[in-house]
Amino acid sequence: MSDDPTTGHSRYPRLRRVGVIAVLAFFVLVVFIVFTRGDEQVAEHSQANPTLPPTGTPALFAPAGGPPGVIRVASSDSSLAPDVVVTVVEDYLCENCAEFAQQYRSVLREVASVPGVVLEFVPIAGSGTEDARRVANASLCVAADTLENWVAYRTALFAAAPLSASHDGLTDDRLVEIAHTTGASHAAAECILGQSFIDDVDANTLDWVNEQDLPLVLLDGSPYPLQTPDVFAEDVRDAVRDS
């Protein structure tokens, strides 16, 4: 057994500690996903924010069209030609993006369920790391599989971000484990392992990474200065009225 020349102690206990911490972190993440999944299901049956127009089906419909590598969420097929498009450009390893996702989670879902509104998510690797590329690709894979699972998976990816600093990082295998925990199919797993959307991630990263700090929110293509969730909901409502 080799020793650490600076301490005289074996490196292996330290490695074991790191491994135990990583396992515990993943266990906590699984518990978090289970409770988050329950919250999302409750949200699907909750009443819409009264500041928004009456909502239709919960925001779990993927309208056709749109650029590659973009996750589009709407209330119904009628949003193929939307009145208003809200775009969110995000990196799952970005702390500000995680804070935004937490703070605006309910409002974004309600906004997406408003008839005539399409909510677009653009996952990019703004941090420039391989983990960021893998995570963005995985998000697109699960969204292509089913939006019901993607809603929980997106939340789980932000929660998993600290695992990127672990010894192994956020490998494709780990991303598959998280995907299965949120209910994704084997097809989604194959997509993640095959990095099927990595070219789209790279292209969108080049398009958006130098625009502004993340997350970047656009209302009908124009950068939107975030204030509060309530103000955001009101501005979307006004945009629908003016369309």
- % of the chain residues with pLDDT over 90: 54
**216-219 vs 222-223, strand pairing mode:** antiparallel
From residue 239, give the alpha-carbon distance in Å to each of 133, 153, 193: 33, 29, 40
Q: Packing angle between helix 186-194 and helix 172-181, nearest 10 degrees?
A: 160
**Residue 118, C-beta contacts closer than 8 angstroms, at least 6 positions apart:** 63, 66, 72, 73, 74, 79, 82, 84, 85, 86, 112
Q: Name the DSSP letter for residue 204.
A: H
pLDDT tens-digit profile of 98-141?
A: 999 999 999 998 888 888 899 999 999 998 899 999 999 999 99
pLDDT tens-digit profile of 5-38?
A: 444 444 444 444 444 444 444 444 444 444 344 4
The pLDDT value given to residue 23:
40
Is the pLDDT score of 200 beyond 70? Answer: yes
Distance CA 33, CA 88 (A): 22
Tell me which residue of 2, 24, 234, 199 sits closest to 226, measured CA to CA: 234
Q: Name the DSSP letter for residue 124.
A: -
Whether this model's pTM surpasses 0.75: yes
From residue 82, give the alpha-carbon distance in Å to each of 39, 62, 163: 28, 13, 38
From residue 156, give the alpha-carbon distance in Å to each of 32, 51, 188: 8, 28, 16
pLDDT tens-digit profile of 62-96?
A: 666 678 999 998 876 544 567 899 999 999 999 99
Retrieve residue 206's tokens: 């080049």
The pLDDT value given to residue 166:
75
Q: Tally the C-alpha atoms within 13 A of residue 242's C-alpha that lie toward its C-beta.
A: 9
Which domains are delineated in the chain?
12-242 (3.40.30.10)
Residue entry with tokens 């008839």:
115
- Average pLDDT along the chain: 78
